[in-house]
Structure formats: structure tokens, C-alpha cells
């Protein structure tokens, strides 16, 4: 890196004509990628803003069809007033659930990921490589398969979870067959204001913990291996036990690596489409619906393109606020440390 930077600094400034020719070459290299992104990504983004103020529907889809009507802010107010054809739509509840979903997942992922990384980092532990290879497996499975397999695992009759309970506790205490419908249990476990947590949330949580901790563990392992060994020796000389060393050496060193990853994980989990869509289908009564799945249903199922566009604009600003807040948090805690 330093060598490259130095090379750049030393290079003499070229005359103007040559530089503008350089710009032309650069744009030639950029053109194919930018052209594709302009058509597929940037144009729809702009188009979306216009669409959000219209009643664009299925009937306006054909190129020859008449254009949609301009409806002003109606799409936005309909979303905020929960006045949308999607059953059980409640914007505040979905947003609250989505935030809670992301936060609870990330905390658990980081804690489990770090804990398991610590176990695997113990000096002298045998078969480390084998365990690391096994633990990475969830990452290697396509998310859509993970979600559908876990849906199957929570099936009331044939699912692995109920069978496991039947086979252990059921056999032990001679209970009648246990057929809990995890994903469709209608009564929420917890309901505080806009926060509603049905049993399906915990099923989704279990699946996402299975899916999420391995990558955290990989990141934590990398950070653990970069901690200088003499710090531990010095701490040991001072008579620090395992837990003291963990608190004074390990965790402070893990923090700079784990915090950005946790923020990344938060955004990733916040927008995690597959589990909600394929495992619980957003149920029961839309209680495990996320913003991304709701937006998708507006397009793929309801064909309310205008409302969906307004919804996407809300999504965009929510993500923007999340990014700003998490960045601020990361910086605040970082300066506290130093």
C-alpha cells in the first residue's frame, strides 16, 4: 500500500491534453459497468420517485397501456394510515418488529460467535481444523434452502423439532404426541405496545442463530489470532486468571473487529428476506413480516406498483437513519475506548 501511495505522489503532473485523454480512457473502461447500472439500478431509482406519486397498477404495465393517474401524497398517507389491501398490515408494528428482529439477532450472534471462537482458540485443543470446517457449513448452504429446511423442521406433524421433543421428553414422561404449530401459533408470546412477538419469532430466531453465528465466529477468530501473545504473558505475570485476561486483554482487542461487523450484520439481518418469507411466510397474521418482505409482496403479489414505490422510499429513509445512527454509535464508543 505504502509503495503504491508513494509512487502516486512522486509521479509528475501530466500536461492537460494528456490528462483529458486519460479521462477518456478511464470512461471507456467504466462505460460497460456504468451503462448497465444506469439502466438497471439508477433509472428505476429515479422512476421510483415518480411512481410513488401515482396509482401505477397492473393495468398500466403494458407499454401501450395508458399512464397511471397522479395521486399526490396519497400512497404515503395510505401506508402510514395502514390503509393497504395487504391483510394485517400495520406499518408501526412491522417497523418495530423489524428493528427488534435485527437487534436481538445481532446481539445473540456476536455473543455466541465470540464464545465459540474463544473455545476454538484454546491452546492445545485437538481437532481444531475439523471443528472449524464443520462449523462453517451453514454459510455454505444457499439461504433459500436454509429457510425452507427450517420451515420443514418446525412442521407440526413431520418436523424435526416436535419429533425431537416427542422422542426425548415425550418418551421419558410418557406424554401424548406433541404437535405444536410453531410457525402458526396465533397467540403472541409477548405483546408490548407495537412490539408483538409470536412463537414464530422464536422459531425464526433459532434458525437465524444457526445461520448467523458461524460468520461472527470466523471474524472473531481472525481478531483473536492477531492479539499479541506477550500481552497474555504479561497479564499472567500480573497474576490475572483466565476471566481477568478475557476482560482486560481479549475483549478490548476483539471490539474494533467485532463492532463494524455487528453493524454490518444488523443491516444484513434488518433486510433478511429469506427466513421471514420462506419459513413463516410472515405469519401468523403478518406478525413476522419485515419491511423487505412487505415491499416485495406489494409488487409480486398485489401489483400495487405506486404504493410499493412509496413504501420503498420509506424503506430508504429508515435505512439511512439506521446507517447514520449506527455510525454515530460506533464512533462514540470508539472514542470512549481511546
Partner 1 sequence: MTTPVAVAPRIEVKPLAQARTGGGRRLKLRSQIGLQLVCLAIGSTVLFPIVWIVGMSIDPRNISRPDSLIPPGANLDAYLRVLQRPTLNPVSFFQLALNSLSVAVLISALSVGLGVLAAYAFSRMKFRGREFMMLLILAVLMLPAVATVGPLYISMNRIAVGDFRLGGSLLGVALAVTSTQLPFAIWNMKGYLDTIPKELEEAAVVDGAGKFQTFLRIVLPLSTPVLAVTALFGFIAGWTEFLLAQVFIVGDPSQWTLAVALNALVGQYAGSTPWSTFAAFAVLFALPVMIVYLLLQRWIVSGLTVGGVKG
Helices (H), 141-270: 143-153, 160-165, 171-172, 199-225, 229-237, 242-245, 251-270
277 in Cβ contact with 247 (< 8 Å): no
Segment holding 190, helix H or strand E = strand 190-192
Angle among Cα 55, 56, 58 to the nearest 5 degrees reads: 125
Q: Kindly tell me which of 88 and 166 has the beta carbon lying closer to partner 1.
A: 166
Phi, psi of 148 (to 5 degrees): -70, -35
Q: Smaller CB distance to partner 1: residue 103 or 145?
A: 145
* Least distance (Å) between residue 160 CB and partner 1: 5
C-beta of residue 144 within 8 angstroms of C-beta of residue 274: yes
- Taking each helix axis as running N to C, give the angle between helix 199-225 and helix 143-153, from 0 to 180 degrees, rounded to the nearest 10: 130
Q: How far is the CB of 102 from partner 1 (least distance, A)?
A: 13
What minimum distance in Å lies between the beta carbon of 319 and partner 1? 7
Nearer of residues 138 and 188 to partner 1, judged by Cβ: 138
Pick 191 or 320: Cβ nearer partner 1: 320
In contact, 323 and 267? CB cutoff 8 Å? yes
For residue 7, the minimal CB distance to partner 1 (Å) is: 5
Cis peptide, bond prior to residue 284, ω within 30 of zero: yes
Q: Could you tell me the smallest distance in angstroms from the CB atom of residue 188 to partner 1? A: 22
Q: Which is nearer to partner 1, 32 or 193 (CB)?
A: 32
Locate cell 428476506: which residue?
Answer: 273
Task: Give me the half-sphere count of Cα atoms (radius 13 Å) on the Cβ side of residue 297.
Answer: 20
Nearest distance, CB of residue 192 and partner 1, angstroms: 28
Q: Which residues face 151 on adjacent strands?
A: none
If the CB atoms of residues 195 and 218 are measured against partner 1, the closer one turns out to be 218
Amino acid at each position: 500500500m505504502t509503495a503504491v501511495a508513494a509512487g502516486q505522489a512522486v509521479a509528475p503532473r501530466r500536461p492537460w491534453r494528456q490528462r483529458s485523454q486519460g479521462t477518456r480512457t478511464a470512461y471507456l473502461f467504466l462505460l460497460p459497468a456504468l451503462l448497465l447500472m444506469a439502466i438497471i439500478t439508477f433509472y428505476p431509482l429515479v422512476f421510483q420517485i415518480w411512481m410513488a406519486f401515482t396509482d401505477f397498477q397492473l393495468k398500466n404495465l403494458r407499454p401501450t397501456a395508458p399512464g397511471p393517474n397522479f395521486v399526490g401524497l396519497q400512497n404515503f398517507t395510505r401506508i402510514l394510515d395502514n390503509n393497504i389491501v395487504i391483510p394485517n398490515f400495520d406499518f408501526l408494528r412491522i417497523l418495530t418488529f423489524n428493528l427488534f428482529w435485527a437487534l436481538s439477532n445481532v446481539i445473540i450472534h456476536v455473543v455466541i460467535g465470540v464464545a465459540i471462537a474463544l473455545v476454538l482458540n484454546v491452546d492445545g485443543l485437538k481437532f481444531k481444523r475439523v471443528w472449524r470446517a464443520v462449523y462453517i457449513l451453514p454459510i455454505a448452504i444457499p439461504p433459500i434452502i436454509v429457510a425452507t429446511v427450517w420451515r420443514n423442521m418446525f412442521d407440526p406433524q413431520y418436523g424435526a423439532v416436535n419429533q425431537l421433543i416427542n422422542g426425548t421428553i415425550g418418551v421419558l414422561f410418557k406424554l401424548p404426541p406433541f404437535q405444536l404449530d410453531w410457525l402458526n401459533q396465533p397467540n403472541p408470546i409477548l405483546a408490548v405496545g407495537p412490539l408483538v412477538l409470536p412463537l414464530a419469532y422464536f422459531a425464526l430466531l433459532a434458525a437465524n442463530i444457526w445461520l448467523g453465528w458461524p460468520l461472527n465466529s470466523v471474524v472473531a477468530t481472525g481478531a483473536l489470532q492477531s492479539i499479541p501473545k506477550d500481552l497474555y504473558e504479561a497479564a499472567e505475570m500480573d497474576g490475572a486468571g483466565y476471566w481477568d485476561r478475557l476482560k482486560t486483554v481479549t475483549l478490548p482487542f476483539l471490539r474494533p473487529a467485532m463492532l463494524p461487523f455487528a453493524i454490518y450484520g444488523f443491516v444484513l439481518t434488518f433486510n433478511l428476506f429469506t427466513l421471514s418469507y420462506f419459513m413463516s411466510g410472515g405469519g401468523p397474521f403478518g406478525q413476522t413480516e419485515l419491511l423487505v418482505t412487505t415491499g416485495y409482496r406489494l409488487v409480486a403479489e398485489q401489483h400495487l406498483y405506486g404504493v410499493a414505490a412509496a413504501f420503498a422510499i420509506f424503506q430508504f429513509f429508515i435505512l439511512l437513519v439506521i446507517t447514520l445512527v449506527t455510525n454515530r454509535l460506533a464512533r462514540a464508543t470508539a472514542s470512549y475506548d481511546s
